[in-house]
Amino acid sequence: MDTADVVLIALVVLAAFVMFSISFREDYQARLARKLAERSGLAPTAEQLPLLQEKIGRRQRGAVVGALVAGVAAWLLTLDEATSDRLLILAGALAAGGGAGIALTALRNASRRPSDLPVFARSTSVTLADYSAPSDRFLAWGLVALAIIGCGVASFLTTAPLSPLLVGLTVAAVAALVFFEISARRIVALGQPAGSVTELVFNDALRAGYVFDLLVAPITLGTYATLIALSTIVASLGEPVVDAFRPWAPLALLALIVACSFLSVRADSRRHYLRRLWPDIAARGDGRLAVISEETK
């Protein structure tokens, strides 16, 4: 491990320390709560904000710790790889570690609520489909499938062994997708102790956020593996094909990134749970922030 490795690890640890520390600040938590409200189409009241901010702070700390552990471990385990490959692995490890940290935080803190307070619960059961938009899961499954297919085609077309980076990213993408399907269902199956309908709606908003965050890792790793598989396939077809493809490569990459970003972060996807579980509130919001009242009971 040389000086550059030490400096990079130090910077990652410093950034994680800063993000972990500011997650305790009320003004920062309030800003994150407002962003959650805007994405979800909800308008929290002053009474609802403290508990919401506390949960958001715990969520960020879980993501930071998970990303830090996975990122440092990935960097130390790839000391012999090329710098460009290591940076790609680092980005994937940060996404996967952050998702794992969020999942563990959700599972650990699901029932944190004083037992002496009244409890409100819905009369119907919920499933993963209530919290995750079909397009988001299709994107994750599609990218992982493309990575697997690309890996197989590249193996068929090339005589040399596949790049360890391609194989590793493909395996990691599959593992991240399996982790999502298992942990997201575990999170959805947990109880939601709430003292009012308003608290239950915001619990749903946070739960939908947890599920969405878990999809980042398979989407990220699947995208990386697909791009590397595509470059391997193009390279195996000979220099004329490489020369013809090279001018279009940046545009293809940009189009893929824009498409993935659009499908993943659009407001329609983030409000999917609201339409499934709280259609009256979703309709009342009419695209704006919906103010929740106890009349929704």
Alpha carbons 168 and 182: distance in angstroms, whole number = 21
pLDDT in tens, 258-276: 665 555 555 566 678 888 8
| CA 211, 214, 219, 220 torsion-angle sign | positive
pLDDT at res. 175: 92
What gap in Å lies between CA 163 and CA 25, rounded to an integer? 45
CA distance 37 to 201: 11
Query: For residue 208, what are its two tokens?
Result: 């939908």
Which residue would you say has higher pLDDT here, 293 or 96? 96
- Pick 136 or 241 by higher pLDDT: 136
Please give the mean pLDDT across all residues of the chain: 77
**Residue of 50 and 221 predicted with greater confidence:** 221
* Average pLDDT of the residues in 214-224: 87
Instruction: Render pLDDT for 191-207 as a digit per residue (tens, 0 to 9).
Output: 776 667 777 777 888 88
**Which residue did the predictor score with more confidence, 257 or 182?**
182
In the prediction, which pLDDT does 121 show? Answer: 62
As a whole number of angstroms, the distance between CA 177 and CA 169 comes to: 12
pLDDT tens-digit series, residues 115-143 = 555 566 666 788 899 888 888 888 889 99
Residue 281 has pLDDT above 60, yes or no: yes
Q: What is the mean pLDDT of residues 218-236?
A: 84
pLDDT given at position 181: 93
Q: What is the dihedral of CA 248, 252, 258, 262, to 10 degrees?
A: 140
pTM (two decimals): 0.77
Give 148-191 pLDDT, tens digit per residue.
Answer: 998 888 888 887 788 888 888 899 999 999 999 999 998 888 87
Cβ-in-10-Å burial (0-12, 13-18, 19+) of 30 comes to middle
- Please classify residue 67 by burial: count the beta carbons closer than 10 Å to its beta carbon, then call 0-12 exposed, 13-18 middle and 19+ buried: buried
For residue 256, the model assigns a pLDDT of 62
Provide, for the chain, the percentages of residues in helix, strand and coil under a 3-state DSSP scheme, each rounded to the nearest 5.
Answer: 80, 0, 20
| Closest of 49, 64, 63 to residue 14, by C-alpha | 64
Residue 89 — very low, low, confident or very high, per pLDDT cuts 50/70/90?
A: confident
Share of the chain above pLDDT 90, in %: 7
Q: Is the pLDDT of residue 222 over 50?
A: yes
Q: Who contacts 206 (Cβ-Cβ below 8 Å, separation ≥6)? A: 36, 52, 55, 56, 59
